[in-house]
Structure formats: C-alpha cells, structure tokens
Amino acid sequence: MANMKSKVAFVCASCSSETSKWQGQCPSCGEWNTLKETVKAKPGKDRGIGGPSVVQKLGTVAGDNAGRLSVGISEFDRVVGGGLVSGSTLVLGGHPGAGKSTLLLQIGCQIASRRSVLYVAGEESLEQVADRGRRLHLPLGQIDAIAETDVTAIVRLISASKPALVIIDSIQVMFHPDIDSLPGSITQVRECAALLNRYAKQHSVTIIMVGHITKSEGLAGPMTLNHLVDVTMMLSSTDDTRYRILRSDKNRFGSTSELGVFAMTGTGMKEVPNPSAIFLSRSNAGMPGSIVTPIWEGSRALLVEIQALVDQSPLGNPRRVSLGIENVRTSMLLAVLHRQGGLAIHDQDVYTNVVGGIRVSETSVDLAVLLAITSSLQGKVIPSHVIAFGEVGLSGEVRPSPNGQDRIREAVKHGFRVAIVPAANAPREMGSDVQIVPVESLQQALDWMATL
C-alpha cells in the first residue's frame, strides 16, 4: 500500500521543473524562491478523456472548413486573428476589475443567439452573473450557465450539452478531484488546463478561460499553461481608466501585433473604432518636448503622442527613464544624437513617455523620440500639425518604415499637415493636404528643427 500513496514534489513556478527536495534556487532556470510544494496524483488514476489516439496519415486528415466564429465584436475578432477557431483554447488575463468577466459575458451573449454557449461561473454565483448581465442590458435568454469548479463534472456536462463555446471563469479556481492539492496550485492549474485543452482538441469545442495575473503582470500559474493554450491575451487599462487595451501575447492563428481598444461604460465594454483619438492628448500643444508619430499595430496605423523632458541633472549619473519605450533603445538614441547630431546631453536627465499607456516596440518611433528630446532641450515648440516617423541607425541615417503611406494617410485624416518621413517613404503624390519633408539623415531632421 505504501507505493499507492501520493508523492510530494517541488515544482518551479517559473519553468515548471520538478525536484524531490526544496531548494532556495531552481536548478533548471536559476530563479530564487520559486519552488512550491505540490502533491502528485495518486497512481492508477486515469485523468484522460476519450479513447486511445489513432495514427493517421497527415494527408488524409480533413481540415476544418467551418471557418472562424465571429464573436460580433470587431476589436476582439481583430486580436484573435479574425474570430474564434473551432477546437482552440484561449486564456484572457488582466488585473482585477479590468473587465475580463464583463467582456466574456458580452461575447457569450453575442454568440448564444447563433450557437450554443456554456458559461461556467467558478468565482461568482449564478445570481451575481445574472445581475451583471441585467445591468449591462444583455440578452440572457439563450446562454446556458452553471456554477461549478470540479473540472471533471464540467467536462461531463460539456459532453452532454455539446456547446460550441465554453467560458471558464476562472481556471485558477478549478480543481481536479484526483489531485491532492488546493485549487489555484501549480498542479491543479496545469492538470485542469491540460484536461480542458485535450477535450477541446478532440471534440472541436472552443474554450476561453479567465486567468489571474501575478504582481509582475504575468499570467499566474505554471509556465506550461502558456504552452498548452493556443491564445493568451491580456486586458489592461490605459492612463485614462475609462479605456481598456486588449493585446495577445501568443496566437497560433494570427498576429500578436494586433491591438483592441475598448471603453468601459455603464453598459459594458464598448468598441473604440478610432483609437488614435484617445491616444492624442494635445492639451500641451504649445509646450516643447511633444510630437505625434504614427505607429503600426497589426493591420492599422495608430497616432500616439511622444513626450520628452530634458532637465539639468544634479547627479553624477543622469537619469534615463522611458515609459512605453525600451530604456536600452532610448540610451542608444541619445548616443546617436550626441555623436551624429552634435547635441551633448551627458549632464542632463532625460525622460520619455508614450501618452496613453501604449507600449511601443517598433523602431519607427526613433525619429519622433529624437525630435521630442531636441525640442525639450532647445525649448522649441514643434507645431501641433506635425508628425514624424522613421528608424534611426547608429550612423545617423533615417531608414524607411513599413506601411509608410498608410501612416501618412491616417495622420491626414486627423488634420496633420506636415509629415517628416524617411526619404524612401516619401510618396510621389499626396495632394495638397499634407507637406512631406523627406529626410535621409538625423542631421537633416535637426536642420528642419532649426527653422522653427
């Protein structure tokens, strides 16, 4: 009987590796204080579902010709790649109060008018879920709901009702009765997610799970959770708490560069069809250190404001602080500005910020960042109708950015009349609505600044 007892192991919360004894440092990934005691499942328990797997020739496997299932919310469809894929598993994470449950309840009610939907409430009672739906004026008559946390009971219910979409709120409160550990533990989250993922693949059911996040704003639970699911998304708020940004960190069926923008209202999450309008805060248009740049997010251009503040530093090692832009890249651009532009800022504190809480990873903002820094350093105001974009190399050359003409068109729609762009992106004909200033080097852009 001794060999039938549950075994204790220590699992790393960062890399999911297992050791038999506790250690301060994980021997696999080197992280400290990440080993957590877990209890393995008792031997002999079958946690699988369905029958044995069958070996097939890949060429004989029929494809899924049903296409994607649109949720009826274009901003969500954009982020997931055009709609939900049958048999896929998705995780939606975010801070408490970000609106995860609200958004998924809206999605469930939208799809329930066309397909069968099951909403599994693990953290709330059905009365609480129904009250939220009534406050949001959602049509609740077609959506099925159950309050359950036993994942095996949920799978049996799914097998009986055969819904097209299952919403699990949330995966951290689910538990498997054959696992001797508390809900939310690494083992429970891993086993419950694995069971749901396998069932979704075998029976072509789409499952969306709500996930909690850690203090470092990563998805809570074992690292294997990210590998198991097909799509992971994060719902975060901007500096203006009315707006929410939905972005995918992993997407097996589409791009991870798409961005969805919502407004939190009294009747739920509303789509923002023109996100550029909320990211343009031009109340400081008459102040130096501000310029607008068009960034490319997935399949559309967004206009964001870049701010910079340069100030005399009282420290021997001046501060370099960047919000929304990589600190390393900002430091590199400052070196280029000194060497290629002749502007010495070695004794200045430099702060840069992307208004609206947007994180920018593409290099097309280089020129705008340098112009904003120069504007703040020299105290010159860049006119509010000017945009700039382009990658700046170490030798000071301004390289072209993809979709350059689309970026310019988006700016023209919002009333911008001057565009400082890489020479390779300069269109041959743009009409009289905009003045194109093509530049091949940083020095040419600084020469334009000197005319202000």
- State residue 23's pLDDT score: 84
**What whole-number distance in Å separates Cα of residue 131 and Cα of residue 78?**
29
Is the pLDDT at 148 greater than 70? The verdict is yes
Is the pLDDT at 14 greater than 50? The verdict is yes
Judge: domain 278-450, CATH 3.40.50.11810: no
Could you list the beta-strand ranges (E) of 129-230. Answer: 144-147, 165-169, 206-211
Give the torsion through C-alpha atoms of 189, 206, 234, 332, to 10 deg: 100
Instruction: Tell me which of 123-127, 257-261, 397-401 is least confident.
Output: 257-261
- pLDDT, tens digit, for every residue of 267-306? 899 998 778 877 775 555 678 999 999 998 877 888 999 9
DSSP class of 224: H
Residue among 203, 208, 209 nearest 159 (CA): 203
- Average pLDDT of the chain, as a whole number: 87
Instruction: Tell me which of 296-300, 418-422, 438-442 is least confident.
Output: 296-300
- State residue 3's pLDDT score: 42
Peptide bond into 170 cis (omega under 30): yes
Straight-line distance from the first to the last Cα atom of the chain, in angstroms, rounded to the nearest whole number: 86
- pLDDT, tens digit, for every residue of 315-362? 888 999 999 899 999 999 999 999 999 998 888 999 999 987 788 888
- pLDDT, tens digit, for every residue of 358-377? 888 889 999 999 999 999 99
Question: pLDDT class for 423, splitting at 50, 70, 90?
Answer: very high
Task: Write the DSSP assignment of 121-138 as a string of letters.
Answer: ESSS-HHHHHHHHHHTT-
- pLDDT, tens digit, for every residue of 66-111? 578 999 899 999 999 889 999 999 999 988 888 999 999 999 999 9
State mean pLDDT over 28-37. Answer: 79
In the chain, domain spans: 2-39, 68-273, 278-450
- State residue 50's pLDDT score: 56
- State residue 4's pLDDT score: 43
State mean pLDDT over 243-248. Answer: 89
Q: How far is CA 396 from CA 75, 334, 402, in A?
A: 38, 11, 19
Please report, rounded to a whole number, the percentage of residues in the chain having pLDDT higher than 90. 56
**What whole-number distance in Å separates Cα of residue 206 and Cα of residue 253?**
13
Question: pLDDT class for 26, splitting at 50, 70, 90?
Answer: confident
- pLDDT, tens digit, for every residue of 35-49? 877 665 554 444 445
- State residue 119's pLDDT score: 97
The neighbouring-strand residues paired with 309 are 351
Reduced to 3 states (helix: H, G, I; strand: E, B; else coil), residue 184 is coil
- State residue 63's pLDDT score: 64
Is the pLDDT at 51 greater than 70? The verdict is no
- State residue 43's pLDDT score: 47
- State residue 46's pLDDT score: 46
**What whole-number distance in Å separates Cα of residue 183 and Cα of residue 150?**
10
- State residue 132's pLDDT score: 94
Answer whether 0.85 is exceeded by the pTM.
Answer: no
Burial state string for 213-233 with b = 16 or more CB within 10 A and e = fewer than 16: beeeeebbbbbbbbebbbbbb
Is the pLDDT at 174 greater than 50? The verdict is yes
In the CATH scheme, what is the code of domain 68-273?
A: 3.40.50.300
